[in-house]
Amino acid sequence: MESDIMNNPENTSVPTRSAHRVDDASVDLEAEFKASNIQEVLDKLDRELIGLKPIKTRIREIAALLLVDRLRRQFELTSETPTLHMNFTGNPGTGKTTVALRMGEILKRLGYVREGHLVTVTRDDLVGQYIGHTAPKTKEVIKKAMGGVLFIDEAYYLYKPENERDYGQESIEILLQVMENNRDDLVVVLAGYKDKMDRFFQSNPGMRSRIAHHLDFPDYSPEELMAIAKLMLADQNYRLSAEAEKALAEYIPVRMKLAHFANARSIRNALDRARLRQANRLFASRSKTLNKLDLITIEDEDIRASQVFQEGKPDGADDD
């Protein structure tokens, strides 16, 4: 594939002995893309996460930017290292941590960071409780994350202006410095509810200026949650009977309206309890000989025994 800058018939200047005509060179973008193996990560993201088309599109755009940037360096076309710090907003269970994990893999394969690992933290991991405690905690976390992705969940809790003795601002100042000076070996992802993150950025304009990508993760639809449930079960070698699938299709929209709904996380919790009921059901009839189908099938009664159907409330405290 030839570059657009290559064929310039009006460029009649004679190169010196030390100036190689890189304009006449070419690069095979498809070959570079295959060699990077980032398609493997993108395919994995598609398998792991149902829907989220705008999010996946942005991740592909970032991958394309980094790949082209790497090719530009082969032609000695210098430019600043792209800033990739991100803000992920959305409700719990919408795939934010998974996207951050796969983003780390892409960054490593394209040579943006050394390791590509994901370090997930909250305020408690960064902010100390007394003078002199915060800086060492924050720097230790940054040291662990360097070369990869630092994912700060519920990042707005770092800033508590109502508390004069709060040390969160010290952690923010350290993060700001590292985000600016080490952006070629660390990507910081801030995550949380959109309204709270908006207020956080209003109070911390320096942080907003360092965030290049704002991705809003939408809630899943009932149909997407059903697809997610089937994917989760298949990964653990389970299946739904036809009647159980109907029961789950009734369960999902009811559960979505109840308190503490957390999208895919709530569906996973519901399936874990369905598996528990299935195991108890099989154990209760242990005099019966079981076959493979018995062991892998979630039945209607395993779903309908949920408190969501019985009392109209979340099925267990794990959904909080």
CATH of the domain at 187: 3.40.50.300
35: pLDDT strictly greater than 90: no
Question: What pLDDT is recorded for position 219?
Answer: 96
Closest CA to 5 of 29, 28, 31, 24: 24
What's the chain's average pLDDT? 89
Question: What pLDDT is recorded for position 181?
Answer: 94
* Residues 6+ away with beta carbon under 8 Å from 211: 85, 86, 87, 190, 201
18: pLDDT strictly greater than 50: no
Q: Are 199 and 263 part of one and the same domain?
A: no
Question: What pLDDT is recorded for position 30?
Answer: 85
Of the ranges 2-11, 28-37, 77-86, 212-221, which one carries the lowest mean pLDDT score?
A: 2-11
Question: What pLDDT is recorded for position 319?
Answer: 42
Question: What pLDDT is recorded for position 15?
Answer: 44
Mean pLDDT on 238-265: 96
11: pLDDT strictly greater than 70: no
As for how many domains the chain has, the answer is 2
Range of the domain at 177: 22-217
CATH code of the domain in which 296 resides: 1.10.8.60
Winning range, highest mean pLDDT, from 9-23, 27-41, 50-64 = 50-64
Q: Are 196 and 233 part of one and the same domain?
A: no
Closest CA to 119 of 151, 75, 77: 151
Q: Are 96 and 147 part of one and the same domain?
A: yes
Q: Are 226 and 276 part of one and the same domain?
A: yes
Half-sphere exposure in the Cβ direction for 269 (13 Å, CA): 20
Q: Are 137 and 278 part of one and the same domain?
A: no
Q: Are 86 and 183 part of one and the same domain?
A: yes
Position 172 in a domain: yes
Position 206 in a domain: yes
pLDDT in tens, 207-224: 999 999 999 999 999 999
Mean pLDDT on 275-281: 97
Domain boundary among 182, 217, 252: 217
Q: Are 213 and 280 part of one and the same domain?
A: no
> Rounded to an integer, what distance in angstroms lies between the CA atom of residue 195 and that of residue 77?
40
Position 14 in a domain: no
Question: What pLDDT is recorded for position 190?
Answer: 98
2: pLDDT strictly greater than 70: no
